[in-house]
Structure 1
Amino acid sequence: MPQSVDRALDVLDAVAAATGPVPAKALARRLGCGLSTVYELLGALTDRGHLTRTPAGYVLGYRVPALHRAFQQQMRMGDEVQELLTRAHRTAGVDTYFSTYRDGDIAVLAGATTTHPTGGFGTGQDAHGYATAHGKVLLAALPRAARLRYLAASGMRAITPRTITSAERLDVQLRRVRHEGVAVEVEECVPGVACVAVPVPSSEGLAAVSAALPLDDFRRRGAQVTETLRAVAAEAAKWRGVSDISRLTDG
C-alpha cells in the first residue's frame, strides 16, 4: 500500500477512535509524522467528506454513515435487523447485537445498546471471536479447517483469566454449542459481564444474534434473555430465507 494511503487511513482511524474533536497537532504527535503532512491528509479526507473540521479539531464526516449503509447493503442486512434488535433491547433490557462471518472475519454489523454498552462491544470487526458468544456461534458453524484457520490468524490470547486459550478446549465447547443451538460466554471478554448468542443461519452467510448483560443479571434471567434472542433469530431467519433456525453446519 502506498505510504500516503496508509497514513491517510491512520488519520481516519485515529479520529474514529477519539472521543471528541482531534486537533491536527495532536494527530501529528500520535502518528509520528510532520504537521504539514497531516494537514495535507486532513485536507484530502475533508474534501471527500470522510472528516469534518470543527473549531476544536477534526471529527468523522458525513460520508462515513453512507459508507456504513453501503456496507450493510452489501452484507444483505436491511433495516429489519435493526428494528428487531431495538425491540429486543427494549423488551429484555439488554444490549443486543447482530454479527456475521465472512471471508475469514467475524464482525458485529449492528447493535441496540445503552449509551455505555455493557460488554464494551461496538460495530466492526471482532478480532476475538473465540472469546465472545456470537463468535462461538459462528465458529461452531464453520468446517473445522476454516475454524482452525481463523484461530491461527487471530491467536487465542487471554483477555481475562477466564478466556479459553486452547483450541482443544474450545472445540469441546463448540460441540455443545452445535448441539444446544446457543453459546454462553461468562467473563471471557469483560469481568462481570456475560453474553449469550444464538445462530441465524441463511443462504447469505452465517449470522448470530447476541446479548450482553451484567453477570448477576444473567444468573437471574439468562434463560429469559435466551428465549428473546431465539425469537429475534426466528424473525431474522425469515427475511434471510431460512425457516429452520436450529440448523448448524457440522464441524
Structure 2
Amino acid sequence: MRKKTPQISSLKRTLTMLEEVVADGGQSNVSTLARSADIPVATAHRQVTTLVEEGYLTPVGRGRHVAGARLLRLLQRLDEKQLIVNVAAPVLHRLAVRVRTIVQLGTLENEMVTYRLKIGQGAAELFTQVGMQLEAYCSGMGKVLLANLPREERDAYLANGPFVALTPRTIIDADALARELDLVAGQGYAIDDGEVVEDLTCAAVPIRRPDGGVPAAISVSQSVTGRRISQEDLVDLLRATAREIEQVAFNRA
C-alpha cells in the first residue's frame, strides 16, 4: 500500500495567507489578516514579503496588499482591465504623492468612461467616484480612449450624437470633436480644458498594450486657481507612469 505523500505545512500556511490577502482586497493590513487566519504575525510578514518579491502580491500602502501582476496573469478568466487596475494602484499612488493632486484611471464601456481608480489630494472634493461613468467626449481620459478606437468605431461614435455641453468649453460639434480626436491620436495625449468642470483642467495619456490597443487611460486633474504644474511636465510624468504600468501589466522588458 502506497504511503500518503506528506503535506508541506509551511506551503499550506503561505497559500492560506495568499487567499486571505486576495479575498480581503487590500482593506486590512498583514497583522490583522494573520490573526484572523491564526498564523503567527512574524511568519505572515515573511510570507507576504516573499509573495511581493515574486510578483504574486502588490503593496498598496499602510501594510495592505492586493493581487499582484504575476498572480493575475495566472487567472485565465481575469478581466484585462482589472489586471491593469491592480498593477496601476501603487504606481498611481506614487504619482499622486509627487503631483499633490488628483490622479485617475478609466476604461471605456458602452461609449462611457468608467472610473476605476481615484487617488490623491482633493480626491474627496471632486465629483467623480470609482465605479461611476461619464460621457467620454468631454474628459481627457475619454478623449484618449475614443481617439484610440478603430476608425470605424470612432466614426460610429461621432455619428451617434448629440453631444451636450457641460460647460461653455465643451466640444459639442461632431466635426470639431473629430478633429480633436485626430489631434489626440497624433500627439499621444489629451487635454480637458474646463470641458467637464469650468475651473478644472486635466491631462491624460493611454495605457497601451504591445499590440497597440488602448484598454485604459490615466489622468492628472488640477484646479485652474491652485498649484499649477505645466502641461508639458504633466504629460511627461503621465507618460513615464504609463510606461511603468505597461511594463508590469504586459510583461514588457
TM-score grouping bracket, smaller chain normalisation: 0.5 to 0.7
Q: Over the residues paired in the alignment, what is the CA RMSD in angstroms?
A: 2.9
1:238 to 229, 247, 250: 247
SS in 1 for 2:241: helix
Match of 2:92 in 1: 85
1:131 paired to 2:133: no
2:128 to 121, 125, 145: 121
Q: How does 1:83-232 map to 2 (within 5 A)?
A: 83-102=90-109, 104-117=111-124, 119-151=126-158, 155-202=162-209, 206-217=215-226, 220-232=229-241
1:196 Cα deviation after fit: 0.4
Structure number with larger C-alpha Rg: 2
- Once the two structures are superposed, residues 221-247 of structure 1 have per-residue CA deviations (whole angstroms, 9 ceiling, x without a partner) of 222222111111001111232759xxx
Match of 2:8 in 1: none
Corresponding pairs, count? 175
Between the two proteins, what is the percent identity of the paired residues? 26
Question: 2:143 corresponds to which letter in structure 1?
Answer: K
TM-score of the two chains, using structure 2 as the length reference: 0.60
Match of 1:18 in 2: none
1:220 Cα deviation after fit: 4.8
Moved over 6 A (4+): 70-74
Q: How does 1:11-90 map to 2 (within 5 A)?
A: 75-90=82-97
1:111 Cα deviation after fit: 1.5
1:138 Cα deviation after fit: 0.3
Question: 2:99 corresponds to which letter in structure 1?
Answer: A
- Gap runs ≥5 in structure 2: 1-76
Question: 1:231 corresponds to which letter in structure 2?
Answer: A
SS in 2 for 1:146: helix
- Once the two structures are superposed, residues 18-71 of structure 1 have per-residue CA deviations (whole angstroms, 9 ceiling, x without a partner) of xxxxxxxxxxxxxxxxxxxxxxxxxxxxxxxxxxxxxxxxxxxxxxxxxxxx99
Distance 1:135 1:76, change over 3 A: same
- Contact 2:159–2:174, Cα closer than 8 Å, also in 1: no
Distance 1:157 1:121, change over 3 A: same
- Gap runs ≥5 in structure 1: 1-69, 245-251
- Contact 2:81–2:215, Cα closer than 8 Å, also in 1: no
